[in-house]
Structure 1
Amino acid sequence: MREAVERLYAVFARHRLAARIDGCPHCVTDEDQRLLRRSPLRELGEDDLRRFVAKVLTTWGGVDDLRHFLPRILDLALPGGGHIDIDTVAAKLDLARWWQWPADERAAVRACFAALWLHTLDREPEERPAVLILDTLATAFDDLSPFLEAWSDRLRRWADHPRALRQFADTAGTVVATSPTVRHPQVVIWLLDLIPLMETLFKELEDVDVGLAESVLDTHDQLVLLRAALRS
């Protein structure tokens, strides 16, 4: 992710810090304003930025202000586990209509989320569930196919990416256990389209990793039940 974030800093460097960032006088204090200026952009911490992230585009600052701070915001939010939530950042990008920004800025934003996605697929579900990051991506992106295609590729090369397979099992289980209709339609269709692959993977895993094979079989059976429920 580091390379993607560095690219973001380079591309968005054109957006300078405004002399003053307009905000609701009842919501934004002088101290809030001071926190945004007490350090260079790369040195701002979560405590400096989290109030701005929560209020930008509603009661404090506009799109250009968001673009100035975006590299540092994503720098802090992408690893997860901190006070700046990536879901909130995705929602702010959607509100800012980031897809209408210049091509190089759009590409830099996409690269950051693509890096986050691949990083997630290479982690255990207990560390960072892919199903939750999919919800984040669905907030900022209308088309999830690039992310799902990257996942499909990892599943086909499961020997090199066993965690991506465990993430798949976790995601399928979560979607089936909750209401599938609240999920992005692309995700549900993609899951069902991979039923044949689950059958193939089970045969490949049977004599290699019994535990993982059983997980794949269970996932297959859950998806079959989901398909039947959606057809009824």
Structure 2
Amino acid sequence: MPPVLADRTYNPETSPDGFERSKAALIAAFATVELPAHPAYCAHCVTREDLLAFSGPPNLIAPDVASKFIRKVGTTWGGITELQRITPRLLCLAADNQLEVHPNMMWEKLNAAQWRQWPSEQVKTIDNFLVGEFVRLLHTSPRPAHSAHRWLGAVSTGLEDLSPLLTAWHDSIGALPDPKVSETAVHHLVELLTDSPLRPDLPATIGDLFPNNESAGAQLSSFLRNPAVDVDLKRAAKNLSDSRYSRRINIAIERLGRFKAASQRL
């Protein structure tokens, strides 16, 4: 379950620069992973050019080669060691929308490789990278296929506990961050409440956001029902009352109230 969100824990490290630092730490944590001396692959499915490109520095592997590897790893091209070696590259490509497969496929392959059982420093840097990536997303205005709830839906395929991410969202919509950060983070919350599969009078529809992780819906529901989120949303409505976003924020407040009321009736 997500933590109680009453106390502010805003961390100035959660910034675009913080994302770059988490990226560097992620790459460093996997730097010692080497390719097997005799990698397994199907000669009919994987070309020599693919193997040559894959054998170079992981952070330089082209998106098309990395994406082809994701489709084939565990079957006709490589196994856990190869996947482990390229994980930072895959996460960085996914973060920049350069991966040519859906992120769900990447997470399914990482789950199959039991990535949570990898060395603790690697797991820690993956977790930190995801928080940094999410905060970077919250610093930019939502647009089609670029919204917090869509991102959480994909990441939840491989991440059971969303509380660090939801805490970062809560901190970002509050009074402590730079107003521009708070505004864009609020817009992502408004997007969730007004333009997502979530139907406020049917709280169970929150599960439609997380088809691969049933517990994630309960975590997001708890986040939305926390009184602090309602307070932050109403503060944003007041601060942006003269902006073009005013009407939509007020619609989001009304829908949040309906969602909370319907949840109490369950």
Do Structure 1 and Structure 2 share a fold, with TM-score over 0.5? yes
1:196 aligns with 2:218: no
Normalised TM-score (structure 1): 0.85
Aligned residue among 145, 152, 156 for 2:163: 145
| CA–CA distance in structure 1, aligned partners of residues 185 and 63 of structure 2 | 30
Matched, 1:182 2:199: no
Mapped partners of 2:85, 2:247: distance in 1: 49
Following superposition, the deviation at residue 118 of structure 1 comes to 0.5
In structure 2, the residue matched to 1:89 is 106
Contact 1:57 1:63 in 2 (8 A): yes
2: distance between equivalents of 1:186 and 1:117?
A: 16
Structure 2 distance, partners of 1:164, 1:155, is 5
1:66 counterpart residue number = 83
- Per the alignment, residue 140 of structure 2 pairs with 123
Equivalent residues in 2 for 1:1-232 (5 A)? 1-24=19-42, 27-37=45-55, 39-126=56-143, 128-157=146-175, 159-161=179-181, 162-173=183-194, 174-177=196-199, 179-183=205-209, 184-194=217-227, 196-197=230-231, 200-201=234-235, 204-205=238-239, 208-230=241-263, 231=265
How many percent identity over aligned positions? 25
Cα pair 2:90 2:99 within 8 Å, conserved: no
Q: Return the letter of the residue paired with 1:14.
A: T
**AA of the residue aligned to 2:255:** Q
Return 98-107 or 169-178, whichever deviates more. 169-178
Instruction: Tell me the number of residue pairs that the alignment of Structure 1 and Structure 2 aligns.
Output: 230
Per-residue CA deviation, residues 178-232 of structure 1 (Å, 9 max, x unaligned), is 93233421112212325632564256336x5343332222111112222344425
Shift of 1:26: 5.6
Q: Gapped runs of 5+ residues in structure 2?
A: 1-18, 210-216
Change (3 A) 1:74 1:196: closer
In 1, Cα distance between equivalents of 2:237 and 2:140: 24
CA distance in 1, matches of 2:111, 2:137: 21
CA root-mean-square deviation:
2.6
TM-superposition CA deviations, 1:66-100 (whole Å, max 9, x none): 11111222232211144254333233222222211
Task: Report the alpha carbon displacement of residue 46 of structure 1 after superposing the two structures with TM.
Answer: 0.9
Q: Distance in 1 between matches of 2:28 and 2:233?
A: 46
- Contact in 2 for aligned 1:21/1:33 (Cα 8 Å): no
Distance 1:213 1:35, change over 3 A: same
**3-state SS of paired residue (2:126):** helix
| Equivalent-residue separation in structure 2 for 1:10 and 1:72 (angstroms) | 12
In structure 2, the CA distance between the partners of 1:203 and 1:9, relative to structure 1 (3 Å rule), is closer
For the Cα contact (< 8 Å) 1:198–1:216, is it kept in 2? Answer: no
Distance 1:76 1:198, change over 3 A: closer
Contact 2:63 2:98 in 1 (8 A): no
Structure 1: 5+ residue stretches without partners: none
Query: Is 63-72 or 178-187 further displaced after alignment?
Result: 178-187
1:27 deviation in Å?
4.2
15-24 vs 161-170, greater mean Cα deviation: 15-24
